[in-house]
Chain A
Amino acid sequence: MLRRLLSSEEQAVLFKYMEERFGLSRNQFSQFTLERTKRDIWMMPADVYECHFENFEIEKRGLRAFNGDKHPPKPTSTFLQRFGHLFTKGFVDLSSDELKKFLAGEALLGKAQGMTKGYLLIRRGDISIGCGFVREGNIETQFPLNIGRTISKDYL
């Protein structure tokens, strides 16, 4: 798989976006190296990146943090679930009934009034769950439906 380090310009754009949209300080990225493949942006500790392996096929390197195909890049569930508790904005807290709808792939009408178009983090209390998309005050789910289906709706 072709991969390269994110250039400093690309990093600056990404960090600015994460700061402006989610209030995530760029310092949170300081221990990580960011790597770009054709479609995605991956995070790994800086010391991992420095390990060189000769003739070594590596199937997965680090944590898939963003889907880099999208502009701006879309944070993955893996990233949001790990770092979402550090966000100071750009998130919404759902009730149990709203969360059931979200996991079933239904849009939450009028739930994001006043929020600008773009990605947001879905939370339930202190649990960061995944990504939604705000469009005209509504939230569309970006969460994988196959995972949503396997979550029990009894104890949300």
Chain B
Amino acid sequence: MVWAFVYNPSMAKAYQNPEYFSTYSEFIPNFDKFCQAQSTPPPVVIRRNQLKCTQAGFDSFLKRHIDNGAFKGFRPADFVDDCYEIDAAKSTVGGLLEHHVGFFYIMGASSVLPVMALDPKEGEQILDMSAAPGGKTCLMAQLMNDRGLLVANEPSHLRRRVLKASLDRMGVSNTFVTSFLGEAFPATHKFDRILLDGPCSAEGSLRGGWSKSFDYERNGEYRAGLQRLQLKLLKRASELLKPGGRLVYSTCTYDPLENEAQVDAILKHDQSLSVFDPGLVGPWQSGLTSWQGRHYNPQVQQTFRVLPHLYNSWGFFVATFIKQ
């Protein structure tokens, strides 16, 4: 309903209360702790841009801003490389000269995990099906050492502008930007690896905030449409993958209907895909094998969930597939 989307700060608290998430209490361990974490903002995390900044240069950048008082402190983020939690307001970090010249990218630590699961390699041909604003694209380009081909696709014109600005700021040269609806991405070219970090209800990235675009009402039609789109995107991603290729499907949401249910559905549809465990170490929760009376393919146990009270970042879900 439209009235629910009109910003009113007094609503923010109400929407952070556990009611919205109570549906998930049966599978989220320590649910009270989860609700507490979900209602507080995640730490400000920055990731060094290896294309522009050496570790020594980054160390002196961190020290400089401790000395001049911009940062109260910093520490490496757990389980992800090159990421640091910064004790400073996001606006302070975002305003720094070093941010504008692309020494680092501000991104949630859990956003790094789908890229680690994808494990991009130098010289490969990789598709990022839903790329804007581009944090994961830029990280992939770095891990590819800015070689090979990275196609960054994003259908939204406005968001593509942000994506292109991110690529410029990070100094990436190995990327082509395209504007297809992912489900209609031309199947004329096959890729070694594909990241599908597509549209989702974004419950995880709601952490500590209020969003005017978030579906607080759990609108059935909208959710069903979103889930249909997610499956279409997965089907097309599988068609675009080379034999032996790797596909990562990720969302920043907790809803099993957008996560395990989608993995189950694509496994039913496409027998050339199988899920595998990318072996990332961390306090993750395994994918759920059942939800609301529906049972999923046991392979979903090799997917993983990131919960904000177990890992101090945004909620995430990551499924890694291999194509035979």
User: Are B164's CB and A60's CB within 8 A?
Assistant: yes
Give the residue among B52, B60, B101, B189 with the most A Cβ atoms within 10 A.
Answer: B101
Residue among A59, A99, A129, A155 making CB contact with B160, cutoff 8 Å: A59
Instruction: Tell me which residues from 21 to 55 in chain A have a Cβ below 8 Å from any Cβ of chain B.
Output: 31-32, 43-45, 47-48, 51, 53-55
Considering the complex, give the chain B residue whose CB is closest to the CB of A130.
B101
User: Are A60's CB and B186's CB within 8 A?
Assistant: no
Stretch at the interface among B23-31, B174-182, B271-279: B174-182
Stretch at the interface among B144-152, B214-222, B228-236, B250-258: B144-152
User: Are B168's CB and A63's CB within 8 A?
Assistant: yes
User: Are B174's CB and A44's CB within 8 A?
Assistant: yes
Give the complex CA separation of A150 and B101 in angstroms.
Answer: 12
Stretch at the interface among A7-15, A109-117, A120-128: A120-128
User: Are B70's CB and A155's CB within 8 A?
Assistant: yes
15 A-B contacts, Cβ less than 8 Å apart? A44-B174, A47-B149, A48-B173, A54-B186, A55-B186, A56-B188, A59-B160, A63-B167, A63-B172, A78-B168, A129-B97, A147-B100, A151-B97, A151-B100, A155-B70
Give the complex CA separation of A50 and B189 in angstroms.
Answer: 13
Contacts of A124 in B (CB 8 A): 97
Residue among A58, A99, A147, A150 making CB contact with B178, cutoff 8 Å: A58
Given A60-B177, A81-B102, 10 extra CB contacts under 8 A: A45-B173, A47-B147, A56-B188, A60-B175, A124-B97, A126-B60, A127-B101, A129-B97, A129-B101, A155-B96
Given A81-B171, A152-B92, A155-B68, are A58 and B176 neighbors across the interface (CB < 8 Å)? Answer: yes
User: Are B168's CB and A64's CB within 8 A?
Assistant: yes
User: Are B97's CB and A53's CB within 8 A?
Assistant: no
Instruction: Tell me which residues from 55 to 74 in chain A have a Cβ below 8 Å from any Cβ of chain B.
Output: 55-64
Considering the complex, give the chain B residue whose CB is closest to the CB of A126.
B57
Considering the complex, give the chain B residue whose CB is closest to the CB of A33.
B173
User: Are B97's CB and A156's CB within 8 A?
Assistant: yes
B282 at the interface (CB under 8 A from A): no
Q: In the complex, what's the smallest C-beta–C-beta distance from B99 to chain A, in angstroms?
A: 8
User: Are A43's CB and B96's CB within 8 A?
Assistant: no
B73 at the interface (CB under 8 A from A): no
Q: In the complex, how many residues of chain B place their beta carbon closer than 8 angstroms to a beta carbon of chain A?
A: 39
Q: In the complex, what's the smallest C-beta–C-beta distance from B192 to chain A, in angstroms?
A: 12
Residue among B98, B100, B149 making CB contact with A150, cutoff 8 Å: B100
Residue among B60, B101, B147, B177 making CB contact with A59, cutoff 8 Å: B177
Contacts of B102 in A (CB 8 A): 81-82
Given A127-B101, A147-B100, A151-B95, are A48 and B174 neighbors across the interface (CB < 8 Å)? Answer: yes
User: Are A56's CB and B178's CB within 8 A?
Assistant: yes
Q: In the complex, what's the smallest C-beta–C-beta distance from A118 to chain B, in angstroms?
A: 22
Interface residues of A (CB under 8 A from B): 31-32, 43-45, 47-48, 51, 53-64, 77-78, 81-82, 85, 99, 124, 126-129, 147, 150-152, 154-156
Q: In the complex, what's the smallest C-beta–C-beta distance from A65 to chain B, in angstroms?
A: 8
Give the complex CA separation of A155 and B168 in angstroms.
Answer: 23
Quick one: CB contact mask for B7-44 with A, threshold 8 Å, 1 for yes?
Answer: 00000000000000000000000000000000000000
Given A55-B186, A56-B186, A155-B96, are A45 and B101 neighbors across the interface (CB < 8 Å)? Answer: no
Contacts of A152 in B (CB 8 A): 92, 95-97
User: Are A82's CB and B188's CB within 8 A?
Assistant: no
B123 at the interface (CB under 8 A from A): yes
Considering the complex, give the chain A residue whose CB is closest to the CB of B148.
A47
User: Are B92's CB and A62's CB within 8 A?
Assistant: no
User: Are B168's CB and A53's CB within 8 A?
Assistant: no
Which 4 pairs show the lowest CB-CB distances between chains A and B?
A82-B171, A152-B95, A63-B173, A60-B177
Give the residue among B51, B97, B179 with the most A Cβ atoms within 10 A.
Answer: B97
Contacts of A54 in B (CB 8 A): 186, 188
B103 at the interface (CB under 8 A from A): yes
Residue among B57, B96, B101, B175 making CB contact with A62, cutoff 8 Å: B175
Give the complex CA separation of A36 and B98 in angstroms.
Answer: 30
Quick one: CB contact mask for B78-100 with A, threshold 8 Å, 1 for yes?
Answer: 00000000000000100111101
Give the complex CA separation of A150 and B167 in angstroms.
Answer: 18
B125 at the interface (CB under 8 A from A): yes
Contacts of B189 in A (CB 8 A): 51, 53, 56
Give the complex CA separation of A56 and B189 in angstroms.
Answer: 10
User: Are A155's CB and B65's CB within 8 A?
Assistant: yes
